Structure 1
Amino acid sequence: MEQALQEFRDVVASAGAAGKPLRVRGGGTKDWYGQQMDGEILDTREYSGIIDYEPTELVITARCGTPLAEIEAVLAQRNQMLAFEPPHFGPGSTIGGVVAAGLSGPGRQASGAVRDFVLGAALMNGKGETLRFGGQVMKNVAGYDVSRLLAGSLGTLGLILDVSLKVLPRPLRETTLRFELSEARAIEQLNAWGGQPLPVSASACHGGVLIVRLSGAEAAVRAAKQKMGGEEDAQAGQFWGGLRNQDNVFFADGDLPLWRLSVPSVAPPLALDGEQLIEWGGAQRWLRTGLDAGTIRSAAAQAGGHATLYRGGDKSAGVFHPLAPAVAKIHRNLKNAFDPSGIFNPGRMYPDL
C-alpha cells in the first residue's frame, strides 16, 4: 500500500503547487450530498483493506477505500456491527466516505452518531503529510476530538487514510411495534419512553403511524413489549433497511426537495407545508416541500435546531444551515490549518471554504 500512499502524495503535491482543487472520492455513492463538487478526482478505492480487527476489544481499523459491505460482513462473522447503521446508498460505499459524510441510520437514536464511534484516524493534509490522531482503543483520548472532526467534514480537511471505529455486539433479540398515533402524540410518547429504561433502538413516524424498534436481551425486549403495547410488525426488517438506505416510499417518491431538520426531540410538530417523517425519537424531521429555504430554516431555528437541503432543490441557497460568525471563523481556521492551499473538496460544505 506504500505505492498508493506515494501516489496520493504526488497528486496532493502537484495540486497544491498548481492551486488546483481535488475531489476526494471513493465509490461515489454520496456525490449528490453537499454543494456542487469541483476538481480532479482523487480516487481512494485502491487504498483498501482491514488493517486490524480485535473482536474482544470491539475495535476495527480499515483503510479509507475499504467497502462498507466488506467491513460489515467481517463484523457479522463475529456477531458484531456498526451500531450507528450507516446508509450504503449502493454497493460502492467505502468506510472513508462513511466517516467523511457523517451520516447515520436509524440506530443513531440509541447508539450515537458516526463521530461517537471514531477512535482514531490518519489524515493526509494539504502538504502531503500523514497526521495521526487518537488511537485504536476506547480508553485512548489523545487527539480524540481531532479525529472526530473528520466525521461529517466531507473531505474538506484532507484525505482520510484510515480510521479506527468502535463496534458493538449485535442485539440478541429485536422486535418492532406499530402504533396508530398523530405526529404530536407520537413525539410526546417517544419522549416519555426516552426517559424510561426501555430498549428502544429506533423509531419512525409517518402518516399517522409510529414504528418503534426494540433491541436487546430477550427478557428486556419481552418486558418492554408488554409495557408499551402496540402491534408487533412481522415485516419490520424490510422497513428498517429501507429507512436506513432511504429507498422506501417516502424517500423514493416525489419530485419536491428533501430537507433534513435537526431539532430538540421535544419540539412539537413543525407547522410547515409538505410531507414529513420523524426519526430519532423526534430529533430528526425529514420534510418534502416546495417552501423556500428561508421559511424552512427560520422554522427550524425557532424550534432550536437547523435545516439541511438534503436532496434536490436550489443549492444556491446553501445546502447547510448558515454558520454563526464565530463558528464560521473556527471552520475557516481549521481549513487553513489542515489544507492551507484549499485544494481538498473546496466549497463542498460552504462556498467560501
Structure 2
Amino acid sequence: MEQHQQAPDRDVTEALCEKVRQAAADKTPLHIQGGGTKAFYGRSVEGVALSTREHRGITHYDPVELVITVRAGTPLAQFEAALDRQNQQLACEPPHFGSAATVGGMVATGLSGPRRPWAGAVRDFVLGTRLITWEGKSLRFGGEVMKNVAGYDLSRLMVGAQGTLGVITEVSFKVLPKPAAVHGLRLEMTIEAALERLAEWGRRPMPITAAAYHDGALHLRLEGGESSVAATASQLGGEALGNEFWQDLREHRLAFFDTGADGGDSRPLWRLSLPNNTPPLAIEGEVLYDWAGAQRWVRSDMNPTRLQEEIARAKGHPTCFTPGVAEPFMPLAPTVAKYHKRLKKRLDPHGIFNPGRLYAEL
C-alpha cells in the first residue's frame, strides 16, 4: 500500500505548551488565534494573543485509507489542495471567509457548507485531535480510524467550542473521493412549493447534495454517478447552474451577503438553524434558504430578543454573524448552561482559554 506524506512545515508544540503553562501559572487569559478569518463569529475576547499560525504542515496522508492528519496552523487552502491532487475532499465544505483561514479555525468554529445535510458536519469527519490542556500538556485524543473513537469523544467536543476548552494543535480527518459527476439546476417557483418538493425529494434516492432558495428560484446541486446525475437532471429540468454559485454561497460572496460598507445591506446577518420542513417564518427582513430550508440566512433589523423568541417557538436557534451584537448566540437553557459551566471548569479551571468567546459566563 502506497502512502503519501508531506514533510511538516514546522512543529512548535513545545513553544505553545510553554506559553499555556505560563498563562496558567499567572492566571492570564489567552486569546487563541489562527488566521482570523472567522473572528467575527462569537463574542470578543480580551487576553494575550496565542497564535497557532506557525504550527503548520500535513504530518500524514494516506489516500487509500482516506485519512489525513494536519497541524492546526496549516492554511485551509493548502489542506484542500493536497486533497484535490488525490481527487478527494473534506465533504462538509467548510467555508474559508478569507485566504488566511486555517485548519484549526475550521475545527474550532465548526462551520460547514452547502453539502452538510447530505454528507455530515465538520465534527463527523474528525477522527482525533492533539490538544494542549490547561496544564500545558500535549495530549492525543481519538485516532486515525473510526473504531478508535470510543467512550467520551473529547476530539469532537472541540469542534465548535471556539478554543474555550483547550488549544487544538493537530487534527486527523476522514476524507472522501470527489463525485464522478456534478450538475447544478435553477428552478423558478415559490418558496412554499420549493419546501414541499424538497420534503418529497428527501424521501427518494435522489443525488441532491445542495439545495438553496433565493430570488424566486430553487437552486440544486446533483452529485454522484454520471448516469444517476444525468437522469435526475433530465427529470427535474430547469436552467443549468454553474458550481460558482455554491462556492459563492459557501464563502458568503453572493450579493445577499454584501455589507453596507460596499453599498450593500447593512442590517445584521443572522443564521437560523431550524428543523427540517419548517415553513416560512414571520421574520422581518430578507431571507436566503440553505440546507433545504434547515439553515436560513436573514438580513434583519428585528429586535434580537424578539427574533430569538420567534425562532425558539419554531424549535430552532439563531446566531448573529455580524460583529457588535452583545450576545450573538442564543442564551442557554439553565440546565444546559450548568453542564457547560461544569465542563469549562473541568477542562479549563483557571478560565484562560478564550474566556467569554461563546458566553460571558464561560
Q: Same fold (TM over 0.5)?
A: yes
**Residue in 1 aligned with 2:208?**
200
**Residue in 1 aligned with 2:221?**
213
Of 325, 340, 346 in structure 2, the residue corresponding to residue 331 of structure 1 is: 340
168-177 or 135-144: which moved more? 135-144
**Residue in 2 aligned with 1:127?**
135
Structure 1 residues 3, 279: closer, same or farther in 2, change over 3 A?
closer
Alignment map for 1:132-143 (pairs within 5 Å): 132-143=140-151
Give the conservation status (yes or no) of the 8 Å contact 2:92–2:115. yes
Deviations along 1:189-212, one digit per CA (max 9) or x if unpaired, are: 111111110010001101211100
Distance in structure 1 (CA, Å) of the matches to 2:65 and 2:200? 34
Distance in structure 1 (CA, Å) of the matches to 2:21 and 2:149? 31
1:14 partner letter: Q
Of 102, 109, 125 in structure 1, the residue corresponding to residue 110 of structure 2 is: 102
Matched, 1:173 2:184: no
Aligned-CA RMSD value: 1.4
Equivalences, count? 349
Alignment map for 1:45-194 (pairs within 5 Å): 45-143=53-151, 145-194=153-202
**Residue in 1 aligned with 2:261?**
none
**Residue in 2 aligned with 1:351?**
360
Matched, 1:300 2:306: no
Matched, 1:315 2:325: yes
Give, in angstroms, the shift of residue 227 of structure 1. 2.5
Distance in structure 2 (CA, Å) of the matches to 1:177 and 1:3? 45
276-285 or 5-14: which moved more? 5-14
Give, in angstroms, the shift of residue 128 of structure 1. 0.6
**Residue in 2 aligned with 1:239?**
245
2:171 partner letter: V
Give, in angstroms, the shift of residue 306 of structure 1. 0.6
Alignment map for 1:280-299 (pairs within 5 Å): 280-299=291-310
Q: Secondary structure at the match of 2:198?
A: helix
**Residue in 2 aligned with 1:250?**
256
Give, in angstroms, the shift of residue 333 of structure 1. 1.4
126-135 or 61-70: which moved more? 126-135
Distance in structure 1 (CA, Å) of the matches to 2:205 and 2:136? 48
Alignment map for 1:4-83 (pairs within 5 Å): 4-83=12-91
Matched, 1:341 2:347: no
Give the conservation status (yes or no) of the 8 Å contact 2:17–2:138. no
Distance in structure 2 (CA, Å) of the matches to 1:184 and 1:19? 54
Give, in angstroms, the shift of residue 86 of structure 1. 0.7
Matched, 1:272 2:283: yes
Distance in structure 1 (CA, Å) of the matches to 2:123 and 2:219? 26
Distance in structure 1 (CA, Å) of the matches to 2:17 and 2:88? 35
Distance in structure 1 (CA, Å) of the matches to 2:66 and 2:339? 33
Please report the TM-score for the alignment, with normalisation by the length of structure 1: 0.96
Give the conservation status (yes or no) of the 8 Å contact 1:134–1:144. no
Q: Runs of 4+ in structure 1 displaced over 6 angstroms?
A: none
Distance in structure 2 (CA, Å) of the matches to 1:250 and 1:161? 35
Q: Structure 2 unaligned runs (5+)?
A: 1-7, 259-263
Q: Secondary structure at the match of 2:227?
A: helix
Give, in angstroms, the shift of residue 131 of structure 1. 2.2
Give, in angstroms, the shift of residue 3 of structure 1. 6.6
Give the conservation status (yes or no) of the 8 Å contact 1:119–1:144. no
Distance in structure 1 (CA, Å) of the matches to 2:307 and 2:215? 20
Counting aligned pairs with the same residue, the percent is 50
Deviations along 1:284-320, one digit per CA (max 9) or x if unpaired, are: 01100000111111111111111111224x522x111
Give, in angstroms, the shift of residue 226 of structure 1. 2.3
Distance in structure 2 (CA, Å) of the matches to 1:3 and 1:199? 41
Give the conservation status (yes or no) of the 8 Å contact 1:310–1:319. yes
1:273 partner letter: E
2:275 partner letter: P
62-71 or 131-140: which moved more? 131-140
Distance in structure 2 (CA, Å) of the matches to 1:36 and 1:164? 28
Distance in structure 1 (CA, Å) of the matches to 2:293 and 2:200? 11
Distance in structure 1 (CA, Å) of the matches to 2:293 and 2:36? 30
1:345 partner letter: N
Give the conservation status (yes or no) of the 8 Å contact 2:11–2:56. no
Distance in structure 1 (CA, Å) of the matches to 2:325 and 2:134? 27
Q: Secondary structure at the match of 2:156?
A: helix
1:55 partner letter: P
Give the conservation status (yes or no) of the 8 Å contact 1:108–1:280. yes
**Residue in 1 aligned with 2:4?**
none
